[in-house]
Chain A
Amino acid sequence: MLRTACIELPFFRLQLLLRAHPEWRDMPVARVLDDRPRAPVLELNRVARGAGIRAGMPYATALAVVPSLQAAVVDDWESEARIEEITELLYTFTPHVEAWNARSGVFWVDCSGLERLWGDAREWAQNVHTALGNRDFYARIAAGFTRFGTLVAAHTASPIHISESAGEERSAADSASIRLLPLEQGVLRRLERLGIRSIGAFLSLPAGSIATRFGAEADVLYRFAGDPGEVPVRGERGDTSHCREMELPSLRDVEAIISHLEPMISSVVESVRVRGVRMASLHVVLRDEDGDECREEVKPAEASCDARFFRKLVSLRLYTLEYRSPVVYAAVTGEPIAELPGQGMLFSDVRRITQSVNRAFALLRAELGNRAVVRVLDADAHIPEERFRLEPIDGASDPSLSSGKHGAGSEERQPGEHERPDEQRAGHEPPAVRRILLKAQPFGWVERSRGCSPRAVARVAKVLHRSGAQLFGPFRIAGRWWRGEPGRSYYFVRQERDRTLWVYRTGRTLWLQGYVE
């Protein structure tokens, strides 16, 4: 059964340009990054392409090639406004619409169960296509089974494409070019150098290595492209019943701002409560006289309808902000969540402590920021700063955070868990604990030398020996070769009556990684 359709407006921003200047339709037109002679050409129409202009060319050069070239910039706000317009239009054809954030002009809609209203899928798609055409938008529509499958079909097929089966859609997606994914040019070049030219080949790479080798963005796209069990399209028309906004009389004093926000917060919480649901988070938007907007989100430990607690969280957050200009507008929006039936817990003390810890974390997040409360997780890497990651404790936390039992680092090693090579040394003593800087800092420079020859070591020693320090090293580890990073030579510098420094050298630069404490 068909369930998802992708509506792609190719060269969306160029379409907006031509829509704003209908007189340019038969002329060479280009969209440029900004209003400078050296600004690169980003998109161009067929006439301009036929005249010899290429994307990436500076505008001045393109103008020299085709003197009649028409070019302009399309602002983000213009693009966002048109996306909203199209979304509103699509809501007349389906109750669920999602716009893709990664690329403007791509929408997914839920097209299941519409047969009685619109006939079959092709007829429905034809109606959508016509409605968009009436507003001067050219669209390609593909109806199928998954977001990614329909995206590929919409991009590569005729204006309207209907997939017959999920298998056909998948095989078409696998054979499509990797250039269809909105990856960075550098990443695309590296993939192509490895002989990976199709999406199927990209998906055959091991999942665990994508983020490390090609970056987080590539990892997101990898998971998006390969996800076999995605959730249906969910985007629903915005519900404004949980939103309150107000023009403020140019307030700079934080207490005055809070006093204006408090009734709005109470009203939002009440509107959520009467619907029998709870509020998972509260969004606050403040706009100052200069038009700058500040968006903040506060989250309680668990979904709640406690207006007093939300007011406290917002107050804590607002006290940490800087107010450069008087605030003239405020909006408060609640994010409701369906209330789950209460689950009784056998040990009420555990529940009480967990609730109290979660409440404490919520207060700390409100005061210090959403990323200030973290937990440390193990990571599989060899570079010291990548051997762990800091994961924000967001929302309700694990009850075990308030106890040390069954942790990953506890002495009770799981069966089959292997030791790292550095744990297999003679003796069972724990190591002296190192302190690691969250970001290594440049520490000094050494003269150019190769490898870790005695001469190279002597040169490092010369930098570090100022106070008669004792030098240990080098201890070589490979750099992140896939990013073109050179290897690292680690040294420990033991100083009289001071902490032992933990430094490394890459090229001529010496970095302070941390201390042995």
Chain B
Amino acid sequence: MMGNPPADVPMVRASRLSAGPDSGASKEWRLDMLRGRLSEITGVARLSAVAVLAREAHRYGEGVAWVSAVDSLFFPPDLARWGVAVDRIPVVFAAAGGSAAVPTEGVASANASAVRTNVRPDMSPIVAERTARAAETLMRTGAFALLVLDLGTVRPATGSLGRLLRLAGIHDVAVVALTDGDPSLGSLVGVRVNASHSGPIDGRLTLDITAIKDKRRRPYWRVREVCCAPDGMY
């Protein structure tokens, strides 16, 4: 479980997008820091957190690939406004069974607090295996600097994650997994962060990215980015 960071943790404030071409997230939350590693983003703002990385990758002409194990996708107009070339991101639907336009295994409850969009439990190991294999296939091309695995509740086997980690090292790829939280992907994860929003205040949300685990430095570093709230939420 994630705990609250200690009060004396130094906070790194990320620059705004408009600040200049070299602006972006802090030195902790940068693509360079995550290359060759397996990272995990949990929390309620994980798409915004990964958008920071995708923006950086595309800014420097690096490739981004997206492998989805769930029946949902980033809302492209939102990601495009981060400066990400969404039409240059190949998206692989590992759970869709060959029909990307048809959502599969979606379950929604009328209870707002219990809503989850998950794959069926019995399909989960198959989807996990397909997702990991798709990720491996893409990584072996050596064409992508950032590989996003949108896993939801799907958990690839440790063996698959080990292969992904090794390939990440060989091809210098940042493998970033978006998960629904507990359980974590395991000990192979080099960086695990929690992403959350606070606000809105004056039509703006504050994105907090807090490290829960970082094998290369002291955990609990925090990055803050300001986003505007979607239309209708301000």
On A, residues with C-beta under 8 Å from B are 320, 353, 356-357, 359-361, 363-364, 367-378, 384, 387-388, 390, 392-393, 397, 400-411, 420, 422-423, 425-439, 441-444, 463-464, 466-467, 469, 472-475, 490-493, 495, 497-502, 512, 514-517
Contact = CB atoms under 8 A, between A and B. Distances in A.
A492 B230 contact: yes
Interface stretch (B101-109, B161-169, B183-191): B101-109
Contacts of A438: 71-73, 100-103
A317 to B, nearest CB: 9
B112 A472 contact: no
Interface residues of B, number: 82
Contacts of A474: 232
Nearest to B78: A433
B159 interface: no
Contact of A407 (B58, B97, B230): B58
Contact of B229 (A357, A364, A432): A432
A491 B140 CA distance: 43
Contacts of B218: none
B73 A436 contact: yes
A439 B83 contact: no
Interface string B196-230: 01000001110100000000000000000011111
Contact of A475 (B17, B64, B97, B232): B232
Interface-central residue, B18, B57, B71, B84, by most chain A CB under 10 Å: B84
A407 B86 contact: yes
A435 B115 contact: no
Nearest to B99: A371
24 contacts: A360-B138, A369-B98, A371-B101, A372-B99, A373-B93, A374-B90, A374-B92, A376-B76, A378-B86, A387-B75, A402-B144, A403-B143, A407-B87, A430-B17, A430-B82, A438-B100, A438-B101, A464-B112, A469-B112, A473-B233, A498-B44, A514-B72, A515-B72, A516-B229
Contact of B228 (A377, A430, A491, A499): A430
Nearest to A466: B112
Interface stretch (B5-13, B32-40, B129-137): B129-137
A371 B98 CA distance: 5
Contacts of A374: 90-93, 100
Majority-rule SS of A interface residues: mixed
A369 B142 CA distance: 23
B134 A364 contact: yes
B63 interface: yes
Contacts of A434: 47, 74-75, 78, 230
B63 A401 contact: yes
Contacts of B88: 375, 400-401, 403-405, 407
Contacts of B140: 356, 360
B61 interface: yes
Nearest to A423: B81
Nearest to A435: B72
Interface in B48-77: 48, 51, 55, 57-64, 71-77
A15 B126 CA distance: 52
Contacts of B93: 368, 372-374
B89 to A, nearest CB: 7
Interface of B: 16-18, 44-48, 51, 55, 57-64, 71-94, 96-103, 106, 108, 110-113, 115, 117, 130, 133-134, 137-138, 140-144, 197, 203-205, 207, 226-234
Contacts of B205: 432
A517 B80 contact: no
- Pick from A390, A407, A423, A433 the residue with the most CB of B within 10 Å: A433
A371 B96 contact: yes
Nearest to A389: B101
B48 A432 contact: yes
A9 B216 CA distance: 76
A406 B84 CA distance: 10
Contact of B203 (A408, A425, A436): A425
Query: Counting chain B CB atoms within 10 Å of each CB, which of A367, A426, A430 scores highest?
Result: A430
Contact of A368 (B85, B96, B138, B227): B96
Contacts of A377: 87
B86 A357 contact: no
Contact of A466 (B111, B137, B227): B111
Given A404-B62, A432-B228, 20 more contacts: A360-B140, A369-B98, A369-B99, A371-B96, A374-B100, A375-B87, A375-B88, A376-B89, A377-B87, A378-B80, A387-B77, A390-B100, A393-B90, A402-B141, A432-B45, A435-B75, A442-B108, A498-B113, A517-B45, A517-B46
B48 A517 contact: yes
A257 to B, nearest CB: 19
Given A516-B197, A517-B44, A410 B74 contact: no
B87 to A, nearest CB: 5
A388 B59 contact: no
A404 B82 CA distance: 13
